Structure 1
Amino acid sequence: MLLIEGAKSGPYNMAADEWCAAWAAHHGTIILRLYRWQPATLSLGYFQSYDDRKSHPTSQPCPVVRRPSGGGAIVHDREWTYALCLPAEHPLAKDRLSLYMTVHETLANWLRRWGAGAVVLRQEDLPNRCGPNPSRSCPFLCFQRRTVGDIVAVVDRETFFGNQLPPERALEMDGTTGMAHPSQSARTSTVKLVGSAQRRTRDAVLQHGSILIGQSSWAPELPGLWEVLGHEEPIAENNEIFRDFAVAWPPMLAQVLGWRLEHFPQSVGRDALFNELFTRFSSQEWTCKSRSSTG
């Protein structure tokens, strides 16, 4: 089932993701939900402390929501978010990493259609990656972290960043698989364009992720696809890239997995479950949980 929704608030989006996961489990089907955010919102990973947002001053004006999944904070603005909901007994739901890689390979293919040198990171590329319950040494923002399955674009370091970043392991792309490989050259660097996280329950698996289309004024340190393609002016909200993602990527995923896309037959339910979830994700008690209380 495919559900594409317009821009919604943070609490709505988080409640809708969990509602779709429950619906998928109850009906034994798969739901792919695509959506955007209004207004621009900072989402915290489940294990992050609310107080950690003070480390990122430019996003302070944004409303905040806490995700049910882990990982770093995301500024949802010039991007698309997807949520893939599967019953726990579905074969693809059994293997956490396989699900990441399968979805991300199709996302990398979509990015490469637009001319980005997109690669999917493997374990050997990340000797010092952040874990699922990161320490304070990990960057606050998701798109400043690197973990297995992330999609990055390979860019010329000097042209793209100048002297702003310290040296890092460069990556070169295997043109056959699109996977990342270490390179001896220090002339290239990486820009993260896609990151995902999962919430796994007894009945369902919810995987949601962010595809960074363009740089946000609330997180100006993070370039997106638009900037990787060489544009200096901010991307317009009506740019064709936004529409192309919603139109072109779902069939790419369906083809790889052998699925038949059908539009979701109803809107996200305004039922008792949705109302309960919406109340949770809207509450200060949930959003402002401390690090110790989220473990």
Structure 2
Amino acid sequence: MTDLADREWRLIKDDPRDGATQMSLEEIAAQTALEDDLRTVRVYDWEPSTLSLGYQQEPDTVDWDFCEEHGVDVTRRQTGGGGIYHDSVADISYTIVAPAAEVPGDLMDCYAMFCEPILEAFSRMGVDADFAGAKQEAIYRPSCYLRDIHPAHDVVAPASESETKKISGNAQYRQRDVVIQHGSLSFDLEPETHVGVFAADIEPQTFTDRVTSIREQAGIDREEAVDCLASALGEWCDAEEGEWRDGELEAAADLAERKFGAEGWVCDRALEA
């Protein structure tokens, strides 16, 4: 249990939502943390499937025709790094939101704190996972799972072996004096779609050579994996199970329309008036 457990937290096992709304809810949770002294941990998935671009990622790295043909939405995150293909099958996502004044100011120390429940969740799943022991060079930087692997925030498995593969990526940003960390856990591999959303000609084998999954490492079903992640997050901060308030959902819908679902933001990081 973290030192933050003496604060008020809620655990949200979220409904599947579109990518723009999922990104908007993080900013709304940040506002709630500051204004209502309520912090959030949540587990969620994406419907429809979504490619979330890193903040600085160029739109010409996306195969827009492939995304349209396969019903993949595109949004842009506030965090850097490469694009990630999310869906309700192969990906499990989470968010942690807390006031910046309550967490370590050093980025690496904050990653270490916020990734404690993620590593605990992998342990409960039966996955031998840990932070990468050494940096690995990028294969294709526009893809999160194929860019360089960083020991500070990338998790690999099996950690006890010399040959490891990436199983989770995690990133942080600060919004109105709040730290927001979100991450993707690879439950299963859909290599054709993971590489298909990008404009470059990448072989699916390139993806499977670099990435592993919870299913591959532990053989459990997705529901069990989600439960392990949710329970680890909830126990880490002693959170009460809760849900979004009506006002938060309304605010998120408005923000999704104005920002995370707007072409200007997705393509150029420009906000609607």
TM range (shorter): 0.7 to 0.9
- In the alignment, which residue of structure 2 is the partner of 1:46? 55
Structure-2 change in CA distance of 1:242 and 1:45 (3 Å): same
Number of equivalences: 241
Query: How far is the alpha carbon of 1:269 from its aligned partner?
Result: 1.9
Gaps of 5+ in 2: 1-9, 195-203
TM-score, normalising length from structure 1? 0.71
CA distance in 1 between partners of 2:73 and 2:129 (Å) = 31
* CA–CA distance in structure 1, aligned partners of residues 137 and 214 of structure 2: 23
Cα pair 1:86 1:93 within 8 Å, conserved: no
Q: Percent identity?
A: 26
Asked if 1:248 corresponds to 2:228, the answer is: yes
1:285 and 2:264 equivalent? yes
Partner of 1:211: 185
Moved more, 279-288 or 211-220: 211-220
Q: Distance in 2 between matches of 1:199 and 1:267?
A: 25
2:74 is matched with which residue: 58, 64, 80?
Answer: 64
Structure 1 residue aligned with 2:197: none
The yes-or-no answer on 1:83 pairing with 2:83 is no
Distance (Å, rounded) in 2 between the aligned partners of 1:88 and 1:277:
24
What are structure 1's unaligned runs of at least 5 residues?
131-136, 155-170, 174-187, 232-239
One-letter amino acid matched to 1:210: S
Q: Does 1:115 align with 2:126?
A: yes
Q: Deviations over 1:119-163 (max 9, x none)?
A: 2125xx12x667xxxxxx852211123112211112xxxxxxxxx
Distance 1:151 1:268, change over 3 A: farther
Question: Shift of residue 211 of structure 1?
Answer: 0.9
Q: Could you tell me how far apart the structure 1 residues matched to 2:167 and 2:127 are?
A: 10
Give the structure 2 partner of residue 25 of structure 1: 34
Distance 1:273 1:251, change over 3 A: closer
Alignment match of 1:151 (pick from 127, 149, 155): 155
SS for the counterpart of 2:221 is helix
Question: Structure 1 57/195 Cα, relative in aligned 2: closer, same or farther at 3 Å?
Answer: farther
SS in 2 for 1:94: coil
Q: TM-score, normalised by structure 2?
A: 0.76
Aligned-residue offset at 1:42: 0.7
Q: What's the RMSD between the two structures over aligned residues?
A: 2.9
Q: Is the 8 A contact 1:31 1:84 kept in 2?
A: yes
Provide Cα deviations, 1:33-74, integer angstroms capped at 9, x if missing partner. 2110011111100011111124x9966742211111111110
| Pair 1:3 & 2:12 matched | yes
CA distance in 2, matches of 1:242, 1:260: 22
Describe the shift of the 1:193–1:246 C-alpha distance in structure 2 as closer, same or farther (beyond 3 A).
same
- Greater per-residue helix proportion: 2
Check conservation: 1:11, 1:282, Cα contact below 8 A.
Answer: yes
Confirm or deny: 8 A CA contact 1:105 1:120 kept in the other structure.
Answer: no
Letter in 1 for 2:168: V
Q: CA deviation at 1:17?
A: 1.4
